[in-house]
Amino acid sequence: MELLMIRHGQSEADLLHVHEGRADFSLTKTGEVQAARMSQYVTDNFIPDLIITSPLKRAHQTAIILREYTGCELLIENDLMEFNNGVLAGLTREEALRKYPIPDGGRPIHVPIEGGESELEFRMRAEKALHKICTDYAQYNRIAIVSHGGMISNLLKSLLELPIVTQAAFPTGDTGLHLVEITAEKKIVRFLNRQEHLRYE
């Protein structure tokens, strides 16, 4: 099985410079173009057998565009949503720091943000989503997962069996692609954050 992880295109929150997380912003026109270019690239090079997406608009809209190009079945998986950032959703960075300052030394990983989830809960949700996809859809050769930067980073950490507390991070740009092959013996990272489709943007 191969998992092709795809981050959504540019969203309205990117232009507003606000905390996104569970704030449900749509794609911008640029985001739609990015998603179309990604979809053509994926269709030409890594066509999936199934698409599974987060229900949040920016990811779901990206997945719908991918479906239009590939003709694949599209399923929604709630556990693929971005980090539940509670009270921070939709706030500007400045407003968030003023209203909800970060504690000295940071927030312990088991302590949820107000109205949201903890980093530990986020990682466990990624583990759950990954195991569900690999178990329930094992009959598919390649599955496209359309999600969010934080979730994709946690999915990759889970796949690579990295500890919850780690300095490793896997950033993903707009419509960035990660391809991982999973065999009975090992997991092979084919590439990370590929964005060739945006080269001439």
Condensed to tens digits (0 to 9), the pLDDT of residues 39-60 reads 999 999 999 999 999 999 999 9
Q: How far apart are CA 20 and CA 25, in angstroms?
A: 8
pLDDT of residue 147: 98
pLDDT of residue 199: 86
Q: Which of 2, 20, 77, 82 is catalytic?
A: 82
Q: By residue range, what is the domain housing residue 91?
A: 2-198
CATH number at residue 115: 3.40.50.1240
pLDDT of residue 201: 56
CB of 39 within 8 A of CB of 66? yes
Number of neighbouring beta carbons within 10 Å of residue 145: 26
Ligand-binding annotation for 58, yes or no, is yes
Q: Would residue 131 show up in a list of annotated catalytic residues for this protein?
A: no
- What is the total count of domains within the chain? 1
Q: How far apart are CA 114 and CA 84, in angstroms?
A: 10
Which residue numbers in the chain have pLDDT < 70? 200-201
pLDDT of residue 140: 97
Q: Would residue 181 show up in a list of annotated catalytic residues for this protein?
A: no
Q: Where are the alpha helices (DSSP H) in the chain?
A: 12-16, 29-45, 57-70, 93-99, 119-136, 149-159
pLDDT of residue 106: 84
pLDDT of residue 102: 84
